[in-house]
Amino acid sequence: MKLVTKKLLLAAAITGLLAGCDSGGINIAPVNEDNSVDNSTGGGDGGNNDNNPCASYEKAGSVKQGEFDGTNCTYSAAFVDSGNPLTVDLVIPALDSDGAHIFEGSLFVGNNYDDDATMAAANIAEGGDGAKLTVQAGATVAFPNSTKFMVINRGSQLNAVGTAQDPITFTSLSDVEGTVGPEDVQQWGGMVINGFGITNKCAYDAELATSECHVLAEGAAGKDQSNYGGDNNGDNSGHMEYVRVKHTGAEVANGDELNGITFSSVGSGTIVKNLQVYSTYDDGIEMFGGAVSFENYLAMYVRDDSIDIDEGWAGSITNALVIQSETDGNHCIESDGIGSYDGDNDYSALIAAGINSRPKIDGLTCIVSAQSEGTHDPGAGWRFREGIFPMITNSIVVGSFAADENGVEGSNYCLRVESDETIAALESGEAKIDGNIFACADKTKGGPIGTDELEAWAVANNNVFATVAGDAALNPTASADTGLQILEGPLSVFSIDTASMMVNDAAVGISPVVGATDDSDDATARAYFGALSAGGSDWTVGWTYGLHEGSRAQALWFEQ
């Protein structure tokens, strides 16, 4: 007998043996080097469709898998939905030919719990205890309409690790089909990640321990309900890297218009690096407590606030680029220190415990549209209020590409500071705004700080303001022959070297400082202001959408 015949017979015998072990058969799916299941063999569907690359899982002896049409995978609500959450691990692979994974129901990962006893009985105490969703590099996940959204519940994790060459995209079916406009929003809900971090909406003892901390998350109603909160600011909700979230912000419940991503009490054990939010109706990212940090964040065409902070968020952002639409967008940063703040209350104990918001942001560039009639409010820079203690360094706010539409009203400001607690912290040095460049027709709003008006205080604390005429659109780039040269043309998002910068027809007069996000004893100042340096590496190349030619539907409105 020939050797090849022997091998064929042996393979047939093994196949028959395996089939006889269980009435449904046994599937052996290959495992990749990262221990994720390789669904590309079709092995997860009981062997009935060997050409199906869609994600699958087995639960209670039943195998469920998406349907493949030759390009895309479609998953019905019976596969996963808000009332039918994913409670086992699932791997979503990349598909050939730019195929997408289309979820007809909302993608809820893990069960939700709203009381301590039920959660303890389910052995859910921290991220990693619940179901894990893994999305492989290059995969696209899409949703069909404005009623669908994503939730990663407490205890569960999202591991979406792409690469610069193969980013991961969460978007709408209209985007996949090519029918969406570049600035269209509310094509689907958005993403909510819930963790066990600290939120000052709950009560804590002297050791910052709490019980029955189950705050309703955004989008919560009926079967869509999810909760967040706890006392573990080191909690781990997973790993996101080279991820794009597009065309979000739909109202899904209770009047909640979801953000690009809502980080609800997400802990510092969660890794978020190289994240983009593109065209969303509400906020880009919003943090309700927790301590998750971000490195390399790009927000484009966010209609409300590109960075929104509340309820005691204690994380950091290192390198962030915000580009508003020419005709829409509210704040680059809108930030609150205390959830449900009331200026008549005494928050001294909460602040002494350190659980008011204390963000650290280093290397932020904001390109603000100085418009007056956006979807939410006029375009503006930074707003700090309600007991927040910010640490903001080495950043740039530019609002001078377009003429100020509000005139003397003062709504297109660069910097606004409010609340007695925040003002006192800036005066004492417990909070810091240091080493920043502002170029807006309306320089400041709010204050004063101590005996100084806000602008005078900021200048005395190593910040620079350009004097910009409200009735003119200036070009603050090195390609223009003006006394305001901050950014490099023609793309106008890269900062020029500090020695070449000019503000008010003179050298900028300040140098980058040791950043707020660098806590090491031997920390040194960065070499440039803002998110990107004209002479340095560009962390946006290859994976982002909307910024660079070849990966966008329209040019930037301020390109020269």
Per-residue pLDDT at 218:
85
- Count of H helices and E strands in the chain? 6, 38
Judge whether 313 and 357 are in contact, CB under 8 Å: yes
Do 114 and 21 fall into the same domain? Answer: no
Do 255 and 369 fall into the same domain? Answer: yes
Over the Cα atoms of the chain, what is R_g?
A: 25
Contacts of 458 (CB under 8 A, 6+ apart): 415, 433, 436, 438, 444, 465
b/e map of 263-294 (b: 16 or more CB within 10 Å)?
Answer: bbbbbbbbbbbbbbbbbbbbbbbbbbbbbbbb
| pLDDT digit string (tens) for the chain, length 560 residues | 333 333 333 333 333 333 333 333 223 344 343 434 444 434 333 334 569 999 999 988 999 999 999 999 999 999 999 999 999 999 999 999 999 999 999 999 999 999 999 999 999 999 999 999 999 999 999 999 999 999 999 999 999 999 999 999 999 999 999 999 999 999 999 999 999 999 999 999 999 999 999 999 987 677 889 999 999 999 999 999 999 999 999 887 666 679 999 999 999 999 999 999 999 999 999 999 999 999 999 999 999 999 999 999 999 999 999 999 999 999 999 999 999 999 999 999 999 999 999 999 999 999 999 888 889 988 999 999 999 999 999 999 998 777 666 655 678 899 999 999 999 999 999 999 999 999 998 899 999 999 999 999 999 999 999 998 766 677 899 888 889 999 998 888 999 999 999 999 999 999 999 999 997 778 888 999 999 998 889 999 999 999 999 999 999 998 86
Q: Which two tokens stand for residue 293?
A: 């940090």
Burial class, 401, CB count within 10 angstroms (exposed 0-12 / middle 13-18 / buried 19+): buried
The verdict on residue 50 lying in a domain is no
The verdict on residue 78 lying in a domain is no
Neighbours of 314 (CB within 10 A): 23
Q: Which residue has the tokens 């023609």?
A: 490
The span from the CA of 506 to the CA of 542, in Å, is 36
The verdict on residue 176 lying in a domain is yes
Domain that holds residue 18: 1-30
Per-residue pLDDT at 205:
97
Per-residue pLDDT at 374:
85
Q: What are the phi and psi torsion angles at 423 (to 5°)?
A: -60, -40
- Amino acid identity of 21? C
Q: Domain count for the chain, please give it.
A: 2
Tell me how far CA of residue 31 lies from CA of 34, 43, 90, 243, in angstroms. 8, 11, 13, 23
Do 408 and 268 fall into the same domain? Answer: yes
- Amino acid identity of 327? T
The verdict on residue 73 lying in a domain is no
Per-residue pLDDT at 28:
32
Burial class, 451, CB count within 10 angstroms (exposed 0-12 / middle 13-18 / buried 19+): exposed
Nearest to 365 by CA among 381, 389, 384: 381
Neighbours of 505 (CB within 10 A): 11
Indicate the DSSP class of residue 254.
T
Neighbours of 463 (CB within 10 A): 21
Do 291 and 431 fall into the same domain? Answer: yes
- pTM for this model (two decimals): 0.91
The span from the CA of 193 to the CA of 262, in Å, is 6
The verdict on residue 90 lying in a domain is no
The span from the CA of 12 to the CA of 279, in Å, is 54
Indicate the DSSP class of residue 91.
E
Q: Which two tokens stand for residue 13?
A: 């015998």
Each residue's pLDDT tens digit, 138-178: 999 999 999 999 999 999 999 999 999 999 999 999 999 99
The verdict on residue 79 lying in a domain is no
The verdict on residue 405 lying in a domain is yes
Judge whether 551 and 545 are in contact, CB under 8 Å: yes
Per-residue pLDDT at 49:
55
